[in-house]
Amino acid sequence: MTARKVLDMKPVVFIVSVLLASGSVLGSTILLVSVGPPVAEWTLVPALVGLMIVIFGPFTLGSLLATWDFRRDDESRRLLRNWAVGIGVFEIAAVATIVFYAVVNGTPAWLPVLFAAACVLLTVVAVAVGPALLRRDLATRQDRPEWTPLSRLDIRRKVMRITVTFGAVFILGSIAALVLITSFGDPSEDIGFALLAVLASSFLASGLASMIVSFPLNSELRETTDHDAALLRRVGKAVLARKPSELDASELPAATHYAHVTSVLLPFQLAFFGQLYAGLMIQQVMQLTTSEDLVPLVLLLGLAAVFIAIAPLLIIRIRRARRWVREHADLTATAPGDVTANRRALTEDRPDDITAETGRTDSVDG
């Protein structure tokens, strides 16, 4: 199998992994509620959050280890330790919420022990499988093609795929709902509820399409620093947090490539979060209309609060990435592998050569 085919399989592997993890959360929830029904319904909320962390915590750790090479230097290893400690703390807290649920609701003792053992096992699997996938990926990589910024036509094509996905799911879902309602239900009572369900499904489907079309951009983002997590962290701070002092001149081209990619990737991420949260919030509104439980209201308010916190941050980062691209337009065509030679050229006392190459007399840092 060629490297290109291996890379093309990554989105499929990721989606399958997410679906398996989501199915595991659903199955664990059913097991928890069936074995120990909640005496107090509010205790179910932290337990559900704990179940999600038990499943997705190891998944996150495995994804990091499969994506970034943390063996580069001390800074990379320290970054991995910080991530591992943070995920470990969350996993311990997650198991504690499940233990709390078991104590309050009289759940058998073997159930929290089972979830704790599953968390440990999944973490061990993530630590073993993640680096193996990274080694396989690096061993099968071909020489990187010459980097070019994504064209407006390519961006429009991605947007069109998202739009078509939303429209197709909404139209086909509406037709199916109308047929079912007119055949088996009461149109005057069920049509509004059915259309809300179709609208939520359309947002979720187009959100998934936004994630899928951004996979190549995530791959480009990793390539900007050659899977170096520490360098990506410095570059990200320079571009998105406006701390360019952490970079030297040899890393400016990589930062400019990073800014190009993130200026396109972040809008798709914003679209993904917006559509995902819209679909989930519509589902919670539907739950509120048919149930008196407080759980849908809590989830609805929580989803709204998280999106209100995330959206402005993404918008600010998009503006900063685009500003960096404008301010460093002369480095767009510079390949990351040439930055050492470019640094030597910048530090030599040859202003005429610099003017000939960049068309300006000031330094790249300016």
Tell me, yes or no, whether 134 and 190 share the same domain: no
Q: Report pLDDT for 264.
A: 93
Tokens of 65: 């280890």
Q: CA dihedral defined by 231, 234, 237, 240, rounded to 10 degrees?
A: -30
Please report the pLDDT score of residue 146 as a whole number: 65
24 and 136 both lie in a single domain? yes
Residues 316 and 219 in one domain: yes
pLDDT less than 50: residues of the chain: 1-8, 337-366
- Look at residue 10 in the predicted model and tell me its pLDDT: 61
Tokens of 56: 């997705």
Other beta carbons less than 10 A from residue 62's beta carbon: 21
For residue 144, the model assigns a pLDDT of 56
Q: How far apart are CA 273 and CA 277, in angstroms?
A: 6
In a domain, 196, yes or no: yes
Residues 242 and 125 in one domain: no
DSSP characters over 71-132: TSSHHHHHHHHHHHHHHHHHHHHHHHHHHHHHHHHT--THHHHHHHHHHHHHHHHHHHHHHH
> Which pLDDT belongs to residue 143?
55
Picking from 140, 171, 202, the residue at the C-terminal end of a domain is 140
Does the residue 159 lie in any domain?
no
What pLDDT was estimated at residue 188?
Answer: 63
CA atoms of 143 and 140, how far apart (whole Å): 10
131 in the same domain as 210? no
How many whole angstroms from its chain centre is CA 357?
38
- The answer to the question of residue 115 being in a domain is yes
Alpha carbons 32 and 290: distance in angstroms, whole number: 23
| pLDDT on residue 129 | 87
Whole-number pLDDT of residue 361 = 36
Residue 237 lies in domain: 186-330
What span, in angstroms and rounded, lies between the C-alpha atoms of 32 and 51? 9
Is the domain of 107 the same as that of 207?
no
Q: What is the pLDDT of residues 349-361, one digit of tens each?
A: 444 443 333 333 3
Q: Where are the alpha helices (DSSP H) in 140-242?
A: 152-184, 187-213, 215-223, 229-240
In a domain, 166, yes or no: no
The radius of gyration computed from the CA coordinates of the chain, to the nearest angstrom, equals 24
Report d(CA 109, CA 103) in Å as an integer.
8
Does any domain span residue 224? yes
Whose structure tokens read 């209309």?
289
In which element (H, E) is residue 246 found? none
The number of folded domains in the chain is 2
